[in-house]
Structure 1
Amino acid sequence: MLPTLETLEAALGGLASRTILLRADFNVPLDDDGQITDDFRIRAALPTISWLTEREASVVACSHLGRPQGKVERRYSLAPVQAKLRELAPSVDLLENLRFDPGETANEARFTQTLVERCDGYVNDAFGASHRAHASIVGPPALLPSGAGRLLTTEVEVLSGLRHKPKRPFVAVLGGAKVSDKLGVIKALVEVADEVVIGGGMCFTFLAAQGHGVGKSLLQQDQLEACAELLDAGAPIRLPTDIAVLAPGDRVVQAGVDLRSDWQGLDIGPGTAAEFSDLILHAGTVLWNGPMGLFEDARFASGTVTVAQALADSGAFTVVGGGDSAAAVQQFGLSAAMDHVSTGGGASLELIQQGDLPGLQALRESVANQQASRQG
């Protein structure tokens, strides 16, 4: 059981005049001019911030942005986030990018100590970073009374529900480039889902494992055996039956699943998109993680658009698993039609696969430590 904000409030005997370290996930996309192009993750933290400030707590927020490799890089500064926070939550102080210090990713006790200094409590609301055993995620709960923020709590409830009590039929729609990135979650989902639908670049390794020619499409030779084992075991996996390909001369061709050697598959075909949509429209629960094709190129966006629209039109409980899928529904103007859009791509997959995350474990251990301290 995760400690809640109310758990933290009780542990501190109230929050008035208390300083709370809030680990948020403000890893937002920026354009070439350093302007925020999507403030979804900032707004997602506002319910927790409001709850804390309404109780007169002083909030010191911290986050990472990008991967600056332990050194200060101006393009990764949180200054644009700070400017947005001044509009949305002016009383919140924001520390500079945690990853400017190598101690963050190395989980150094020295760095953790600098974070918690002069703080009375800690809140983790950074679901998108909670699969990382980094200093700001796993360090403070060992030193301060701690609680899970509203966003983190909701993410865990929704995604854990997919593992344990989905409304059926449960359809998982998985895309993206590499099988190796999602093989673990595929293995977990075939145990609980009624259908696991696979598109995107990774479908070609599955198709090759069935003996189909995939031309110049993305193929992970070292994953062929694992894909074949899943298919041979009778896993409920649904693969494309037609493909949109890039042919010589920059031509777009609609083809079956046996591609010529000089063809590159870059999207699911219209027949497959219709088949996948029908599964989604008749589902009780749908999880979507990963685009169906190279949707950044309008010529190969149709599969992803069709799947996204099917989720929007479905009466199912719909969950978008962060990352490129969240970006896609935002781009297509469909975010509001989804029941839950996760703030964490990698974290959502790991939670579904493993059932736990380092950040969640640290929060639970914080409760145990506090109880042991009181008994001692």
Structure 2
Amino acid sequence: MKFNKITDLNLAGKVVFIRTDMNVPLDDNGIITDDTRIKAGVNTIKYALENGAKVIVATHLGRPAEGNIRAEDSVAPVAVRLGKLLDCEIPVVDNWQQGVTFPATNKIIMLENVRCNVGEKKNNEELGKKYAALCDVFCYDAFATAHRAEASTNSVGLYAKEICAGLLMAKELEALSKAVSSPQKPVVAVVAGSKVSTKLTILDNLADKVDTLIVGGGILNTFLMANGKDVAGSLVEVDLVNEAKQVIDKMSARGASVPLPYDVVVAEKFAPDAKAVEKHLDDIKSGEMILDIGSSFANQLAEIIAEAGTIIWNGPVGVFEFDQFANGTKIVANAIADSKGFSLAGGGDTIAAINKFNLFDKISYVSTAGGALLEFLEGKELPAVKLLTSR
């Protein structure tokens, strides 16, 4: 995967349009409740400024209607927080279509919420040209939006004089390439979630690539049924049993495996106070539901993970939010953290599990992207990747 990085370009005296992802959560009073994404985008902005560039920061925030900027849609809180991190004031510019003026001191501005611009979501070329006219360099640093072709993420890059990936985007693409495109063998993928339907394309794509495919959560129940097992009252997608069997058969035909548990943790209800009982899979009773994998099977998975050269992790293997059903995920997560192989983890629930067990710094790379990561794992070509690699 070849593309220009911001570090490859001479930025001195140039205007750099940085499309970042600072779509942070706000409370009812407009106060930022989690500034992780702002902090993640700071390094690229700092690099551009320190190398003599003037910087235009562009991001979306929330889901506003195009053509009208309401007070609650403004990126002003983001500009204030970013300014504190950079130790400067950052003006928010609304009427930028006729050009922009930079402060004499800090040489950085932020455009008002790009999602408010008419034509943004439809990737309007005229809007993209207007963005491009503001700058010498278009820098893409928002992997979380990489699966969307919008004016500020796509058409702007078609008309800018130069384009490049920001530090965060480059790091993300390099991690994904290392894990999926050119992985160190053997490759182990952990894919879990409540439904096969949401991860079927990922499972099918990875079944062609990985040596071991570990499934968990509600997905596991469908795979168990595909293997002829009774899952009693567990969450299961009966209409996708054949698809699950096809994944198992595809892996088997390659000499690869989908390990399935013999011991599980069950309960009679899905609730924080549900009583957890560990038992053999064949001993579960009608009305009981599987909410975690058993400890013996979890330790078996840990041994497989320990030998992996590459690990891809998307989804906790049990209902880890309830402590009595978190042991399987804890064992698997710790095995991934302790592995000498390269580990890539991503997805909201996955990150929540990583944080719960204090393992963030022990995973090789944690992707904060949601839909973009899933589409990459599905084998789809992301518009942002196509753009960066085509120029």
Q: TM-score, normalised by structure 2?
A: 0.82
Q: Report the Cα distance in structure 2 between the residues aligned to 1:31 and 1:329, rounded to whole angstroms.
A: 25
Deviation at 1:115, TM superposition (A): 3.4
Look up the match of 2:49. Answer: 53
Question: Residue 166 in 1 paired to residue 163 in 2?
Answer: no
Question: Residue 252 in 1 paired to residue 268 in 2?
Answer: no
CA shift in 2, pair 1:296/1:103, >3 Å: farther
Look up the match of 2:236. Answer: 219
The structure whose residues are more often helix, as a share, is 1
Determine which of 186, 198, 203 is the counterpart of 2:203: 186
Q: Report the Cα distance in structure 1 between the residues aligned to 2:222 and 2:22, rounded to whole angstroms.
A: 35
Look up the match of 2:144. Answer: 128
- Equivalent residues of 1:65, 1:99 under 8 A apart: yes
Deviation at 1:264, TM superposition (A): 2.6
Q: TM-score, normalised by structure 1?
A: 0.85
Determine which of 351, 358, 370 is the counterpart of 1:326: 351
Question: Residue 81 in 1 paired to residue 55 in 2?
Answer: no
Secondary structure of 2:298's counterpart equals helix
- What residue identity is the alignment partner of 2:41? A
Deviation at 1:33, TM superposition (A): 5.9
Determine which of 177, 196, 209 is the counterpart of 2:226: 209
Structure having the higher Rg: 2
- Equivalent residues of 1:199, 1:240 under 8 A apart: no
Determine which of 242, 248, 262 is the counterpart of 2:287: 262
Determine which of 107, 118, 136 is the counterpart of 2:123: 107
Question: Residue 42 in 1 paired to residue 38 in 2?
Answer: yes
CA shift in 2, pair 1:102/1:175, >3 Å: farther
Deviation at 1:361, TM superposition (A): 0.9
- What residue identity is the alignment partner of 1:180? S
- What residue identity is the alignment partner of 1:43? K
Instruction: Please give the per-residue CA displacement for 1:54-81, whole angstroms capped at 9, x wherever unaligned.
Output: 1222222222344446576766654443
Look up the match of 1:373. Answer: none
Determine which of 303, 306, 321 is the counterpart of 1:281: 306
Q: Please provide the CA RMSD for this pair.
A: 2.7
CA shift in 2, pair 1:108/1:138, >3 Å: same
Q: Report the Cα distance in structure 1 between the residues aligned to 2:223 and 2:210, rounded to whole angstroms.
A: 18
- Equivalent residues of 1:342, 1:348 under 8 A apart: yes
Secondary structure of 2:318's counterpart equals coil
- Equivalent residues of 2:203, 2:247 under 8 A apart: no
Deviation at 1:186, TM superposition (A): 1.8
Question: Residue 137 in 1 paired to residue 133 in 2?
Answer: no
CA shift in 2, pair 1:297/1:100, >3 Å: farther
CA shift in 2, pair 1:330/1:39, >3 Å: farther
- Equivalent residues of 2:319, 2:325 under 8 A apart: yes
- What residue identity is the alignment partner of 2:221? F
Gap runs ≥5 in structure 1: 368-376
5 Å-filtered alignment, 1:301-316, equals: 301-316=326-341
- Equivalent residues of 1:213, 1:260 under 8 A apart: no
Gap runs ≥5 in structure 2: 89-105
Secondary structure of 1:84's counterpart equals helix
